[in-house]
A and B are shown apart, each in its own frame.
Chain A
Amino acid sequence: MLSPFALLFIVFSVYPVLASLRLSFMRYNAICNPDQSPCGSVGFGNYTTLILHDDRFHKALSNTSLYVVGAVILGMAASLSLAIALQEDTRINRVMRVVFFLPSVTSGIAVVLVWGWVFRGDGVGLLNAFLNIFGIAPVEWLATTWLAIPILIFMSIWGGAGFGMILFLAGLNSIPAMYYEAAVIDGAGPKERFRYITLPLLRPVMVYVGITGLIGAFQIFEGVYLLFPTSVGSIGGLQDMALMIVPYLYDAGFNKFRLGYASAIAWVLFAIIFIVSMINLKITRSMEDLK
């Protein structure tokens, strides 16, 4: 009874991961593949090129880091604020919770296409049309290099804050009311109650929301693919302003057919996610030990 799962798991989950590790040490592109010996193994060649010499990868890495930090921190703040604002179980709050959660179940592509219209550079762009009311000239939102990451962060918060909110709500509701009652009797104001009761007791939820958010943010693809194409069959937008790790992986693998190199990128992605999650866990653990 385990065999259907086990078989599929080995063939389509375990094998690709191991094969990708092997590929990452090989040169494998449109003209040569591992069966033809001259361009087989390159040792750590792909990794050293990536880490030491590939400027596009460095750009992708710095863009992704910036995006992840912004999306996770601001996203978590947004989720928590929403959860607190909508905690009371009234009819209007229930409706609003649904509204904030809706993007989590909406097709990412569909949403990105609407944002594409919002941030159009001409007068039909919605944001430009809105700003025009105040006499502000149209801005080329998607062609202004420093705006790419903030726009993607905004889209991520719009799309993801509701999901975190649901988790924080569950966390808030599991805090026994008597803690707050006792604190009120002891004369604690709203600020103290938040600082000394809500925050510490929400820590497990925060760790969960933080780590899942982190992993999700590192894997951003759709927004970059659709909103920041470049004319030459590449990806990443003007001067690679929005190039990120997974789009770069896609670009290397399926536009340039450098399959070995793309596999190396995938393993670097894994290493980064792994290390960052571990650090995150360590920090939260040691914070708990402090008390």
Chain B
Amino acid sequence: MSQTISKAEIRKNEKLMERSGSFTNPFEKKSRASKLRRLPIYLLVVVMIAPYYWMITSSLKSVKELQVVPPTLFPRDVILGNYYDSKYNPEMFQQEVMQGLFQRYPDLKFGFFRFMINSFVVNISITVLTLIIGSLAAYVVSKHRFKGKKFIYLVIIGSMMIPWQVGLIPGFLLVDDLGWINTYWAYIVPALPKAFIVFFLTQYLTSIPDELVEAARIDGASEFTIYYRIILPLLKPALIAMMIFTAIGEWNNFLWPLIITTSQDMATLPVALANLRNSGAGNIGTQGIIMGASLITSIPTIALYFATQKHFIRGIALSGLK
């Protein structure tokens, strides 16, 4: 048994070595001209960073400064009023003192935090549950023999070809009939069966020798023991990749949350953000608050990306080029 594993490992290492051998031409030496040729790409980097820079700096500007034409590149004085203005008083309304993001929803329990809580609850539930049921299904499909298995797998793969918007209207009606509008159920339950995860994990498991599972079965291990003790540890790299993709995808989901929430308090961050913008659409003074909210919405996924960067890139290569 140990032999098969080590062979697989060797093969993996060989593949990695092949990949890392990126080519640089020894005949072309770096010159000043070639450095100058890189100028356009540095300019592009500026274009890439600019929106983030603007998000951050604008959220730190006062209403007065936001109205200045032309806009200031650097905030004159950095203020936190767009997030929380300690001078704000609901009874008085002044131009300079405004209602910060975290003071803006006085009717909501937890105010703006409510949207963050919603996003986290929905996101974590979906990510954890979808991986559990997905890996269970992948185990059955790849390591069990039963009638109709091929058909089931074919249906799962086939469903990936259908854009999810096809089921949008009946999905909405179904969730409505179940009385799930404005509940976490409407967010979480329909998002759980993800065909791509089952497909990806099944592909991954087929490269693991069946003998491993069969030996455990002969030793009298129960199906759940095999799943928990053998399959899950082997799936770990694939599960991590899928976890990152699911978490980021669900966090940024917009159309489905938009149609299943009608009350403010059940909105996730992207929907709350869109509502915030629609409520003060053309008013430049509210842009600071909107940029602050955008920043808060963007940070968790970017942080997750930085924390898991290595897994992330490997995951893309794994899922894309197989």
Contact = CB atoms under 8 A, between A and B. Distances in A.
A190 to B, nearest CB: 8
A72 to B, nearest CB: 16
Contacts of A171: 321
Interface of B: 18-25, 27, 38, 41, 44-45, 47-49, 51-52, 54-55, 58, 66-71, 133-134, 136-137, 139-141, 152, 155-156, 159, 161-163, 165-174, 189-190, 192-193, 195, 198, 223-224, 227, 248, 251-252, 254-255, 259, 269-270, 273-274, 277-278, 284, 287, 290-291, 294-295, 297-298, 301-302, 304-305, 309, 313, 316-317, 320-321
Contacts of B278: 229
A117 B227 contact: no
A15 B166 CA distance: 11
**From B172, B193, B290, residue with most partner A Cβ within 10 Å:** B193
Nearest to A154: B47
B25 A113 contact: no
B71 A129 contact: yes
A128 B283 CA distance: 17
Contacts of A167: 316-317, 320-321
A166 B320 CA distance: 10
A110 B273 contact: yes
Contacts of A273: 163
A273 to B, nearest CB: 6
A124 interface: yes
A208 interface: yes
A9 interface: yes
**From A89, A118, A173, A273, residue with most partner B Cβ within 10 Å:** A173
Given A2-B137, A249-B165, A249-B168, A170 B277 contact: no
A1 B189 CA distance: 18
Contacts of B309: 98
A254 B259 contact: yes
A210 to B, nearest CB: 12
A107 interface: yes
